[in-house]
Amino acid sequence: MDIITVENLNKTYETYRRGSKFSETFKSFFKREKVIIEAVKDISFTVEEGEIAGILGPNGAGKSTTIKMLTGTLFPTGGTINVMGYTPHKERAAYVHNIGAVFGQKSQLIWDIPPMDSFNMNKAIYSISDRDFKYTLDKLTGLFEVEDIVSKPTRVLSLGERMKCEFIMAMLHKPEVVFLDEPTIGLDVIAKQRIRTFIKEMNAQGTTFILTTHDLEDVEQLARKVVIINHGQKVFDDKLQNLQLVLGSKKIIHLMLTSPRTDIKIEGTEVAEKKSDYEYILEVNLANSSINTFIRNLTNMCEFSDISIKELPMEKIITRIYEGHGVSAV
Partner 1 sequence: MKSNYPGIYRECIKVSFATAATYRFNFVLNAIIMLVSNVLFPLVTILIYGSGAGFPGWSFYEVLLIQAVFTLSAGISGALFNGILWVTMRHIIEGSLEIVLIKPVDCLFYLVASTFEPDSIGLIAGGCIMFAIAAGNAGAISLLMWLQFLALFLAGLLVMMGISFIMAATSFKWVGNSRIPEIFESIKSFGKYPQSILNKSAAAFAAFVIPVAMVGCFPAAALLGKASMPMFAAVIPCVLFALSGIFLYKYMIRLYEGVGG
Residues at the contact surface with partner 1, assessed by CB under 8 A: 13, 59-60, 63-65, 68, 71-75, 92-94, 96-97, 99, 101, 103, 105-108, 110, 112-113, 117, 120-127, 153, 181-182, 212
Shorter beta-carbon distance to partner 1: residue 208 or 269: 208
- Say how far apart CA 208 and CA 202 lie, in whole Å: 9
Whole-number minimum distance, CB 183 to partner 1, in Å?
13
HEC readout, 278-319: CEEEEEEECCCCCHHHHHHHHHHHCCEEEEEEEECCHHHHHH
Nearer to partner 1, 112 or 263 (CB): 112
Which of 51, 182 has the CB closer to partner 1?
A: 182
Q: Which residues contact 279 (CB under 8 A, 6 or more apart)?
A: 255, 256, 257
Q: Considering the complex, what minimum distance in angstroms separates the CB of residue 33 from partner 1?
A: 18
Residue pair 126/173 in contact by the 8 Å Cβ criterion: yes
In the complex, what is the shortest distance from the CB of residue 257 to partner 1, in angstroms, rounded to a whole number? 46
Q: Which residues contact 208 (CB under 8 A, 6 or more apart)?
A: 3, 4, 47, 48, 49, 50, 51, 52, 53, 176, 177, 178
Residue 190: CB minimum distance to partner 1, A: 26
CB of 270 to partner 1, least distance (A): 35
CB of 322 to partner 1, least distance (A): 16
Q: How far is the CB of 134 from partner 1 (least distance, A)?
A: 17
Q: Which is nearer to partner 1, 125 or 159 (CB)?
A: 125
**Inter-residue long-range contacts of 30-39, CB under 8 Å, 24+ positions, other chains counted:** 36/12, 37/12, 37/13, 38/10, 38/11, 38/12, 38/232, 39/11, 39/12, 39/13, 39/65, 39/232
C-beta of 51 vs 181, nearer to partner 1:
181
Contact (CB, 8 A) for 249 and 283: no
**Dihedral sign from CA coordinates of 126, 132, 138, 143:** negative
Closer residue to partner 1 in complex, CB, 60/206: 60
Cβ closest to partner 1, residue 140 vs residue 229: 229
